[in-house]
């Protein structure tokens, strides 16, 4: 399971100068490399007047079916996992907590550059 996408809006000075024939095009990309390519092309085009972008929390892929201890997440409210986002400047990892035991899965794993680590102690 991965997370994170970027929404970018590319604005041209005139529709005639846009490859799409419109002044505004919105795109969604799944990787920083794809975002960088779009930004580089936008910067190089003298007819592009703006290209704001933002990262959005959006899961890509399948969520786990069970916790690390084998408790299934399918069923009623007693087994459906609790979902929460840990706040972070990067958008924050998704936290999936089992209702049957203290198991917790974090996607993506908290890295050294993620300030969500500071919130783990209070999230218990």
Q: Locate the domains of the chain by residue range.
A: 2-58, 63-116
How many whole angstroms separate alpha carbon 93 and alpha carbon 57? 9
Is the peptide bond prior to 108 cis by the omega test (within 30 degrees of 0)?
Answer: yes
Q: Identify the helix (H) or strand (E) that includes residue 8.
A: strand 2-12
**Burial per residue of 76-105, b for 16 or more beta-carbon CB atoms within 10 angstroms, e otherwise:** eeeeebeeeebebebbbbbbbbbeeeebbb
Q: What is the pLDDT of residue 2?
A: 52
Average pLDDT over residues 23-27: 95
Q: Tens of pLDDT along 81-102?
A: 777 767 666 666 778 888 889 9
Question: What are the CA-CA distances from residue 113 to residues 4, 5, 89, 90, 119 (Å)?
Answer: 16, 18, 10, 9, 14
Confidence band for 59, pLDDT divided at 50, 70 and 90: low
The mean pLDDT of the chain is 81
How many whole angstroms separate alpha carbon 13 and alpha carbon 101? 57
Retrieve residue 82's tokens: 């609790």
């Amino acid at each position: 399971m991965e997370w994170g996408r970027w929404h970018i809006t590319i604005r041209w000075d005139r529709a005639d100068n846009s490859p799409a024939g419109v002044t505004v095009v919105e795109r969604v990309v799944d990787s920083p490399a794809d975002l960088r390519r779009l930004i580089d092309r936008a910067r190089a085009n003298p007819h592009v007047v703006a290209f704001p972008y933002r990262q959005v929390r959006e899961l890509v892929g399948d969520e786990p079916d069970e916790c690390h201890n084998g408790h299934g997440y399918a069923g009623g409210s007693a087994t459906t996992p609790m979902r929460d986002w840990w706040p972070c400047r990067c958008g924050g990892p998704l936290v999936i907590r089992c209702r049957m035991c203290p198991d917790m899965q974090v996607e993506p794993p908290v890295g050294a550059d993620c300030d969500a680590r500071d919130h783990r102690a209070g999230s218990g």
